[in-house]
Amino acid sequence: MKKLYIVKKTKDFEDIINNGTNLKNKLFVVHCKNNNLPYDRFGISVSKKLGNAVFRNYYKRIIRSIIDNYKKDYVNSKDYIIILRKEAINKSYSELENELIALLNKEG
């Protein structure tokens, strides 16, 4: 995923979480908000409570991979913040992929 498509700033994260809509399922929470840009941006959050840095980065790479595989399906000028829940630990890649894609499809 290119840096252009990533939400990095804390201010942006807070704005999307506080002022955007949210969708939830058992593995993920997704906050989204319109961004007035011709492309989508994604931010990924994995809590320190779930594990150490190696663990958190592993799951961030998995989520980035899922986004890269399906990003052509989601060109609707929105910012997304994807938060991993504790129940997602020890799930297979295909289970994570199905749950995240189903959640993003609800948003449109």
pLDDT at 108 over 80: no
In this predicted model, what pLDDT tens digit does every residue of 76-97 receive, in sequence order? 788 899 999 999 988 999 999 9
Do 50 and 84 contact (CB within 8 A), yes or no? Answer: yes
For domain 3-107, the question of CATH label 3.30.230.10 is answered with yes
pLDDT at 40 (0 to 100): 86
Name the DSSP letter for residue 20. S
pLDDT at 74 over 70: no
pLDDT at 75 over 80: no
> Measured between alpha carbons, how far is 64 from 101 in angstroms, rounded to an integer?
12
In this predicted model, what pLDDT tens digit does every residue of 36-70 receive, in sequence order? 888 888 999 999 999 899 999 999 999 999 988 88
Entry pTM: 0.88
